[in-house]
Structure 1
Amino acid sequence: MADQGSVHLRIQENHVVMDNGIVQVTISKPDGFVTGIAYQGFDNLLEIRNEEYNRGYWDLVWSKEGMPGTTGTIERIKGTSFEVVVQNEDLVELSFTRKWDSSVQSNMVPIDIDKRFIMRKDVSGFYTYGIFEHLAEWPAFNLPQTRIVYKLRKDKFRYMAIADNRQRKMPLPEDRLGKRGRALAYPEAVLLVHPVEEEFKGEVDDKYEYSCENKDLKVHGWISDKPGVGCWQIIPSNEFRSGGLSKQNLTSHVGPISLAMFLSAHYAGEDMVMKVKAGESWKKVFGPVFTYVNSLPGQIFDPLSLWQDAKNQTLIEIQSWPYDFPASEDFAVSTKRGSISGRLLVRDNNELLPANGAFVGLAPPGEVGSWQLESKGYQFWTEADADGYFAIYNIREGEYDLNAYVTGWIGDYQNEQLINITAGCDIDVGNIVYEPPRDGPTVWEIGIPDRSAAEFFVPDPNPKYINKLYIGHPDRFRQYGLWERYTELYPKEDLVFTIGVSDYKKEWFFAHVTRKIGDDTYQETTWRVKFQLEKVQRNSIYKIRIALATANFAELQVRVNEYEQNPLFTTGVIGHDNTIARDGIHGIYRLYNVNVPSEKLVEGDNTLFLTQAMTTAGSFSGAFSGLMYDYIRFEEPPPLDSHFH
């Protein structure tokens, strides 16, 4: 290894080595696969038993125009030419490019890709970013996924950390295979029947149990105990990830595997797949992300101190964003960016209130709420303070919609005017006002409008299918098979919820799923909400507002008082979010506003019928057909003499 103090580059026949005296990174040439990371006496942190192309790599999933679904051809991005972009004592930047070749268009996504790797002086790790470009004259394509994958040494890295309260020693990859593991209702979930180490027996291993929202997904990684070494993925910005702050992505999982996800359809489905049309030019920079390595002296195993150090380094990376060192002009440095600030207020019940803790963001132009499914461009989000003030810095040049949503109110805000960001601009939009949907006063409500079903009743897992990490954990929903508990709790009759008596935290099941009545047979379920009206305002319209936290091959039918009649409203078949199977608590947010003519209501006892009518979930069983509610509100008509908002 080189002396610490400057960055050295060694170009070999089939490899290139970046070395700053702290860490040494070997990359295959011209492929651009990371074959080795040497650090602190480790010859290689990556799994040396894997082939060189299967240790550290960029990959993608793509399909041809018109192909449905979220899968396709997996392509490990393999460079065909290599270039030294920058080389001096302080920094080395390497480029591994792969040009699209029209003669092999059937098995190659029509994108030019430039993978860059950077090593800096005195920095314990290395950076990587990718520039993807599609020219207008090239064929159309779909891009469901792109990411970076690192496969670490399984004999060393056994302890995984994603958050302060989400870290643990992990099973081995062989525990999932053969007679050691038994596949459950979907292939990612495996019951560990005869694991190598007894402590994992009876646990379920499922990579989706470790997924994380973008806003919380800044650093994750693995720790080796002898010696005490950590290897971390630090993602300093959300701007290049699809779907906004609430989009969920995979992190680390048994392998030991560490991911940096850029595009994925997880918890969203086909609507999230990026689709580039013929005649459309597209370019995007993914990253840079930082692979950070840290250590403790001697043989100490202290994961908390390594985790804390990784979090401290993450703050440094976030504060340094946008980086000033990438050489590509496609990466916008701070002088090529602008900022915006303002204050968001909410007008509800004729009151003007500060949007305390609102999420405010710029996203490419689209329909209200379309940022949830956006993946071609860049998004820039922040959280407003308690008084609704917000500021977003370092926004790339371009035209954007200004969007917002805030806990406590339904719906999405979108500013009427597009925001044009230019280099160096500092736009003050002043006070902006969101008027959430409302016709009249609230008669009753169930839940909290926060785009999640977490406040509802989440049952204990089946003792046969447990991840010990989530016992007594705030994220108790991250357990396998919770959908099956509904049939156990309601074997014959469905859920009945009485307004003013029932408690949604204890009696409103978190997912409106099917009932299992045979080996692979499921029936629709109808939940009833009982409520009283002292008086019904005749010749008027009441309103039911139903905010869904997720849907998967579901159809919600709404009836009031007349169950045998045709539904008053149906969503039609909606959703490919797969949240129920994937240990989640929300996917894509959907809001429905249902008119209830007053003649449907009676003075005294009334019943709202909510039927989840779908009993199959595409190619999967009907176990995963269902939805999660975020919030339900029943409004009476506005008083005749009011200007009710």
Structure 2
Amino acid sequence: MDKVGASLLRWLALLIWFFFIVKLTAASRKIFQSENGKSLGVRLHKHHHRMVMDNGLVQVTLSSPGGDITGIQYNGIHNVLETRNREGNRGYWDVVWNLPGNHIAYDRLKGTDFNVIMEDEDQVELSFKKSWNFTHGGSSAPLNVDKRYIMRRGSSGVYLYAILERLEGWPDMDMDQIRIVFKLQNDKFHFMAISDDRQRIMPMPRDRISGEPLAYPEAVLLTNPTNPQLGGEVDDKYHYSCENKDNRVHGWISENPTVGFWMITASDEFRAGGPLKQDLTSHVGPTVLSMFTSTHYSGKDLNTKYRNGKPWKKVLGPVFVYLNSISSLEDPTTLWEDAKDQMSIEVNSWPYNFPQSEDFPSSDRRGTVSGQLLVGDKYISDKPMWASYAYVGLAAPGGVGSWERDAMGYQFWVQANEEGHFLIENIRAGHYNLYAWVPGIVGDCRYDVIIHIQPGCDVKLGVLVYEPPRNGPTLWEIGIPDRTAAEFFVPDTYPTLMNKLFINQSTHKFRQYGLWERYSDLYPKHDLIYTTGISNYHQDWFFAQVPRNMGNHTYQATTWQIKFEIENATPRTGNYTLQVALASASASELQVRFNDRRAKRPHFRTRLIGRDNAIARHGIHGLYWFYSINVPSRLLRQGNNTVYLTQSRSKSPVGGIMYDYIRLEGPPETGPSVE
């Protein structure tokens, strides 16, 4: 055999050996992950200052006894978390808090005691605790903390939950934010997905540092980004906010290797503020958040004040950090589809039956409430109507609409069917009011009877009738009572300040930066005038009533006018009613005058309301405000009339209000005709 033939034989043998090794490695990996059709068990490796949970799919490293996640190994990536960060700044819990009158403080909730709660081949659950006592003073939040981490056989990820507790007699505190934070490798994770229509390649952290700061620190104009295609765009973490009811899965994708990192939340029961509360999701970092409570889109009107030594305990989570992967030949966005499938699995598995804390009840220790909700409004229908697709929920006992401002208790919400039938399952034992609101119907519903939930109970409420605010027939109306300003005119943003993701997206047009400044462009000298029967609120009613920019950082209060006509008015007893629903209020005051713009004292005023910042933070709503305003007949006249709506506060360009719905009702007897 010549030298060439021998060389070919050697290369062939090496090639056969290489494929054998690859096959053996793959087989070994398959054996490691599967044994008689079942994945290998979970293993816990205990080291002096760290714990490692490993199920063959994912390996999670935690600091001990602090309980921070310092590493997550998956699919060939030694650590998907940012290794250039210190270990305590990769995966952690924190709270924003303060003692009344004191400065804001941050507490990373680091544990001081570590325990193994459960350890077998099917599951490992770890506990990292911190106990508070009076000797700590103001150095840490007055909370007892128990952070839990669960890894299960065959599960591609890790579950996280925490039990927070305050004992009787503890000092007053405000707790404005509670969250989990993950910071991923910024050299790998560049593609972010929040929903089917909010996915994109994101800027790098250094792009924000080199960019041009805008009106507030979170918003930056990208002037020289690493990816030139992002040049001239605005980046702002509030672009990617989401309502609780829609915030089920979000995260990031790495293309080399093709790996996804996802935050999955199977239930809203432990989140603050109900289903419409908006909060952050993922943003440049790459950062992944699980927000349990915050003052975003609510301000201090969301009750985060713990007072009078009242005891409190709440379980936050579990949430699920899910990792998935595909080959480099497949479309990376299929990881998003798989993450949604996993999210459905988690939702259908709620409440989980595997957490070991007695404070997290399984389904057999929970209750059920069912019924049918109708709407009784004789000016719309002689008979009660179905409350079609109403949102119905249980929350802590309180006033009408109090659920939206509650951060302390659990809430359980469903959407009724077309006929108003609702079934609320898996309710924790406790005492609740039943609340609701109906799309297309103004106001808030509350069932006045306290509902007591016992383990295993099945409460049937039967037929409930909601009678919305109504004193007389509708003379005119502006908007749709849906608790948002989405139906009103949202302008195009400036071409130099856009986020390209939202171009040609009508449902997300309001998310562009700087829309408040467009009011001064459209109404440089005179304010908005709306004529009922002629104007179209989709085109003629600006989405937010904000101050006018007068230049040199000065702003002017604005007064909008609604012009309408009453024909055949005759002297009558009884008054008119102006129903005003606000979708948002931030550092604002609404004053209402009828037919006399210069009246020194307005006929109605809200005084200073709201700190939700929804206008600046690209939200089409914040908290809901409702006012039923009595209008004496003497204030209106036959023929032409005008309602003057003044937003009198003008210290901030982003202060103002968003209207949800306005309706003028005639006196309760026979209403006059209107054009």
TM range (shorter): over 0.9
Note closer, same or farther for the CA distance 1:445–1:303 as it changes in structure 2 (3 Å cut). farther
2:306 partner letter: V
Question: 1:356-505 counterparts in 2 under 5 A?
Answer: 356-473=388-505, 474-505=507-538
Q: Does 1:310 align with 2:339?
A: yes
**Counterpart for residue 159 of structure 1:** 191
**Counterpart for residue 8 of structure 1:** 43
1:288 partner letter: P
CA-CA distance at 1:335 after TM superposition? 1.4
Counterpart Cα distance in 2 of 1:345 and 1:268: 30
2:177 partner letter: Q
Q: Which whole-Å deviations, capped at 9, do the CAs of 1:576-603 have from their partners, x for residues lacking one?
A: 0111110111011011111111111121
Q: Which whole-Å deviations, capped at 9, do the CAs of 1:118-163 have from their partners, x for residues lacking one?
A: 0000000010100001101221211000000000000110000010
1:415 is paired with a residue of what secondary structure? strand
**Counterpart for residue 372 of structure 2:** 343
1:162 is paired with a residue of what secondary structure? strand
**Counterpart for residue 78 of structure 2:** 43
Q: Does 1:17 align with 2:52?
A: yes
Question: 1:118-133 counterparts in 2 under 5 A?
Answer: 118-133=150-165
CA-CA distance at 1:100 after TM superposition? 0.8
Counterpart Cα distance in 1 of 2:330 and 2:229: 19
1:585 is paired with a residue of what secondary structure? coil
Q: Which whole-Å deviations, capped at 9, do the CAs of 1:244-295 have from their partners, x for residues lacking one?
A: 0000010000000000000101000012141112321100000000000001
**Counterpart for residue 36 of structure 2:** none
CA contact (8 A) 2:391 2:415 kept: yes
Counterpart Cα distance in 1 of 2:565 and 2:59: 71
CA contact (8 A) 1:225 1:301 kept: no
Percentage identity across paired residues of the two chains: 54
Q: Does 1:612 align with 2:647?
A: yes
**Counterpart for residue 579 of structure 2:** 545
CA contact (8 A) 1:143 1:273 kept: no
Counterpart Cα distance in 1 of 2:627 and 2:438: 17
Q: Which whole-Å deviations, capped at 9, do the CAs of 1:55-79 have from their partners, x for residues lacking one?
A: 0000001110355xxx710111111
Q: Which has the higher helix share?
A: 2
Between 528-537 and 515-524, the greater mean CA deviation after superposition:
528-537
CA contact (8 A) 1:453 1:586 kept: yes
**Counterpart for residue 284 of structure 1:** 314
Between 115-124 and 561-570, the greater mean CA deviation after superposition:
561-570
1:346 partner letter: V
CA contact (8 A) 1:146 1:261 kept: yes
2:138 is paired with a residue of what secondary structure? helix
2:398 partner letter: G
2:472 is paired with a residue of what secondary structure? coil
2:497 is paired with a residue of what secondary structure? coil
2:347 partner letter: I
Superposed CA RMSD in Å reads 1.3
Q: 1:217 aligns with which of 247, 254, 257?
A: 247
2:225 is paired with a residue of what secondary structure? coil
Unaligned runs of 5+ in 1: 617-621
CA-CA distance at 1:528 after TM superposition? 0.6
CA contact (8 A) 1:226 1:301 kept: no
Q: Does 1:189 align with 2:219?
A: yes
1:372 is paired with a residue of what secondary structure? helix
CA-CA distance at 1:487 after TM superposition? 0.3
1:11 partner letter: K
Counterpart Cα distance in 2 of 1:81 and 1:435: 54
CA-CA distance at 1:182 after TM superposition? 1.0
CA-CA distance at 1:301 after TM superposition? 5.4
Counterpart Cα distance in 2 of 1:420 and 1:585: 35
2:291 partner letter: M
CA-CA distance at 1:518 after TM superposition? 1.9
2:65 partner letter: P
Counterpart Cα distance in 1 of 2:449 and 2:568: 43
Counterpart Cα distance in 2 of 1:423 and 1:30: 35
CA-CA distance at 1:300 after TM superposition? 3.3
CA contact (8 A) 1:226 1:300 kept: no
Counterpart Cα distance in 1 of 2:452 and 2:226: 58
CA-CA distance at 1:537 after TM superposition? 4.4
CA-CA distance at 1:477 after TM superposition? 0.3
2:521 partner letter: E
Counterpart Cα distance in 1 of 2:290 and 2:179: 6
Q: Which whole-Å deviations, capped at 9, do the CAs of 1:388-427 have from their partners, x for residues lacking one?
A: 0000000000000000001111111000101110000011
CA contact (8 A) 2:574 2:668 kept: no
CA contact (8 A) 2:577 2:628 kept: yes
Counterpart Cα distance in 1 of 2:111 and 2:467: 51
Counterpart Cα distance in 2 of 1:635 and 1:276: 41
2:433 is paired with a residue of what secondary structure? strand
Q: Which whole-Å deviations, capped at 9, do the CAs of 1:3-22 have from their partners, x for residues lacking one?
A: 32110000011110000000
Q: Does 1:530 align with 2:559?
A: no
Counterpart Cα distance in 2 of 1:75 and 1:273: 20
After TM superposition, what 4+ stretches of structure 1 lie above 4 angstroms from structure 2?
Answer: none
Q: 1:236 aligns with which of 253, 261, 266?
A: 266
**Counterpart for residue 591 of structure 2:** 557
Larger Rg: 2
Q: TM-score, normalised by structure 2?
A: 0.92
CA contact (8 A) 2:369 2:460 kept: yes
2:355 partner letter: P
Q: Which whole-Å deviations, capped at 9, do the CAs of 1:175-197 have from their partners, x for residues lacking one?
A: 111xx211111100011111122
Counterpart Cα distance in 2 of 1:51 and 1:476: 38
**Counterpart for residue 324 of structure 1:** 353
Q: 1:263 aligns with which of 288, 293, 306?
A: 293
2:578 partner letter: I
CA contact (8 A) 1:242 1:262 kept: yes
**Counterpart for residue 111 of structure 1:** 143
CA contact (8 A) 2:326 2:332 kept: no
**Counterpart for residue 230 of structure 2:** 200
**Counterpart for residue 77 of structure 1:** 109
**Counterpart for residue 37 of structure 2:** none
CA contact (8 A) 1:359 1:381 kept: yes
CA-CA distance at 1:235 after TM superposition? 0.5
2:403 is paired with a residue of what secondary structure? helix
CA contact (8 A) 1:3 1:20 kept: no
CA-CA distance at 1:519 after TM superposition? 1.8
CA-CA distance at 1:242 after TM superposition? 0.3
Counterpart Cα distance in 1 of 2:65 and 2:424: 39
Counterpart Cα distance in 1 of 2:114 and 2:122: 21
Q: Does 1:174 align with 2:206?
A: yes
CA-CA distance at 1:625 after TM superposition? 1.6
